Structure 1
């Protein structure tokens, strides 16, 4: 089963960031992108509210044009948000009167989760968004569709000030929660390690998430609510699936992906 080509000999794979995504993506049918604080949690909450989400790689002026062209709202920086504006914050969506604001489409820029999602869609895989809220539902969705086709899980991680990847423990836990629910054989050692990391904190995951580096960073900046929303393990049955450039709820889709 093992080969010298990275994790290519394994049916279930795990890696980090855009470069890791490229390494595990060849020939996979499904890619689960995990960015717990906060892209995939915000994405899941948005789709829970009936919003279609376009993941966008860049936080620049081009995002404004993309949103305008698609008749969509644009998520802004947390620090720039005015009343009723959505940010890369799941709590901002829960606080917004979406019906009054007439928001049913959202462009969600993120240098980590959005960039990886768009990258993997371009590679031809079915991309789903996974966080702690929906890891169990997402695992079941993939398990019912994947058969013996390979699955990859990509933890987005965060960035150090110099732009290099900072592995983020919350994404390791989110990946492990998904992989644990997938109940598949053929896990790479990397995937098995993510499962072990999740099982090690599963009974106190909310507490550990609040005390993680990313959790403390958000709390110290006044966004403890976002950590609380992200820590709601199993709260959602929504499975965001990227179709024709937009994440929509695939949970009710009874057709197996091609």
Structure 2
């Protein structure tokens, strides 16, 4: 387990789990629950709109921009708003933090997975047979950014990481090694009390004070989702809905 974009680049692994509870990966899970393919994007500017046009997708706007619009139909980065939208099949989700981490991990060769409290158990169950076969996993709590762009560790992401790791370790028939950082995340998760702690942590208070308490409440719902977001090319899709990989071919009469 390592924090943020720098930590994501520091620990190579076969599978990399991004955790951004408030709210990138929570929004991601809600979208996939509704059958929406999600295109994460690093920037929140005109490039995001161009990216949406290129993929025939709807562009999610910022929470405050959505509030300022007079029309009732809008899609924002708020998971609560996504829980109510209709008729959207593809969504561009700008997130300088979560998206940057996801693409950095993908460029390292890892299979990138999105996790939050809503789908921690589902992600762990999907990973378990792969770990049992010898695969390595790094879990990356995204954290937030201070005004000088340095990493601001976010306790809700530590809890989300711990929830995934705890369920993964519990789901393995044989013991697996976990780093001290991973075990620390599990201990933090076991000490959390939901939804109270999520509402009272720094990130939860900030969102609630800004009028987005529904986002915090949705983010606090543990294991209500079975989606496993995996990054395939430029978009996140639900691994449980993808066709299984084809059989691996063995060469006959030559080296294997």
TM norm structure 2? 0.89
The equivalent position to 2:142 in structure 1, one of 136, 140, 156, is: 156
Matched with 2:19 is 34
**Is contact 1:145-1:256 (8 Å) kept?**
no
The equivalent position to 1:194 in structure 2, one of 163, 174, 185, is: 185
Name the SS for the 1:40 alignment partner: helix
Counterpart Cα distance in 1 of 2:73 and 2:109:
36
Structure whose alpha-carbon radius of gyration is higher? 2
Matched with 1:123 is 108
Query: Does residue 1:143 correspond to 2:128, yes or no?
Result: yes
Q: What are the ranges of 5 or more consecutive residues in structure 2 without an aligned counterpart?
A: 249-256
The CA deviation string for residues 151-204 of structure 1, in whole angstroms up to 9 with x for no partner, is: 000010011111111000000000000000111611110111001100112xx2
Matched with 2:33 is 48
Alignment size in residue pairs? 237
- Shift in Å, 1:52: 0.4
The CA deviation string for residues 95-117 of structure 1, in whole angstroms up to 9 with x for no partner, is: 22x22xxx100010111111111
- Shift in Å, 1:144: 2.0
- Shift in Å, 1:253: 4.4
Counterpart Cα distance in 1 of 2:103 and 2:77:
17
CA-atom RMSD in angstroms? 1.4
Query: Does residue 1:15 correspond to 2:26, yes or no?
Result: no
- Shift in Å, 1:256: 6.2
